[in-house]
Amino acid sequence: MNIVTRSLVVGLVAGAALASTPASAQSGPWSVSFDLGAQTALSGDVHGAGTGRVLNLPTVVNAKSYGDIYGPGFYWAAGVGYKVRTNGELRVQGSYTANPADRVQVGTVANLALFAQFDDYKAFGMDLGYRQYYGASKLRPFAGASVGFTRVDTINSTFTVPAAGVTLAAVPMNASSTVPSFGLQGGAQYHLNDRLALQAGADFRWHGNLKQNEGLAGTGLEGINDKTRRWALPITAGLTLRF
């Protein structure tokens, strides 16, 4: 059982216990939340377009977005909140995502199709933010904003020209990078009682350019991987425990 599964089990057990707590029991200023969902890239390029020479042959590379290369990926988040006003709280949140890569054609070498298989996109984020809740009914919309950092694992790519039987394995593209990030959140909580709530929401997240690796040095294509900032959209559901 991995750490994510253990956290969910602990959260669900604690939630079940709190759901049976008498409604008269009031919660304190603290909260913890657990969320699961999927993340989809909205904008940003894994690499740009360019022309050069690979194996001394004329090469054309077309720009490919994160959406072209990566499909929707698993996303989880865990946060701690502290109430600083009646319907507002400061929050610290950690998150992790893993997005699988598809093998795609990225250009041509001597007019023969050039394909790329990138490493999966794996990233851990840590954020500090504020969330505002609206209303006092069981169903309460919320909105928030956060700033922090995102740590993205190394991304290499294997390039192939099947028609010529050519393979360039594990070409370095982006080094492991810690980059600034921020997010804008929105959603709603449904309060089962004063201590336990279910929630669903969306988080528009941005991170800066990853650190460039020089795996394409000497080809004329060195600059295609230097602008890798992106917007992504995690959509999640989970629970919040207040104490």
The confidence score (pLDDT) of residue 26 equals 63
Residue type, 157: S
**Does 151 reside within a domain?**
yes
The confidence score (pLDDT) of residue 221 equals 95
What CATH number is attached to the domain comprising 220? 2.40.160.20
**Does 139 reside within a domain?**
yes
Token pair recorded at residue 32: 């913890």
**Does 24 reside within a domain?**
no
Rounded mean pLDDT, 12-35: 64
The confidence score (pLDDT) of residue 229 equals 97
- The tally of domains found in the chain comes to 1
Q: What is the pLDDT of residues 42-82, one digit of tens each?
A: 999 999 999 999 999 999 999 999 999 999 999 999 999 99
Q: What is the pLDDT of residues 181-231, one digit of tens each?
A: 999 999 999 999 999 999 999 999 999 999 999 899 999 999 999 999 999
Has residue 3 got a pLDDT over 60?
no
Has residue 2 got a pLDDT over 50?
no
- pTM, whole model, 2 decimals? 0.85
**Does 38 reside within a domain?**
yes
Question: Which value, to the nearest 10 degrees, does the dihedral of the CA atoms of residues 191, 196, 199, 203 take?
Answer: 120
Rounded mean pLDDT, 18-31: 63
More confident residue, 26 or 147: 147
Has residue 1 got a pLDDT over 50?
no
The pLDDT mean for the chain works out to 91
Q: Which of 9-18, 44-53, 112-121, 170-179 has the least mean pLDDT?
A: 9-18
The confidence score (pLDDT) of residue 235 equals 98
Rounded mean pLDDT, 96-123: 97
Range of the domain at 150: 3-19+29-242
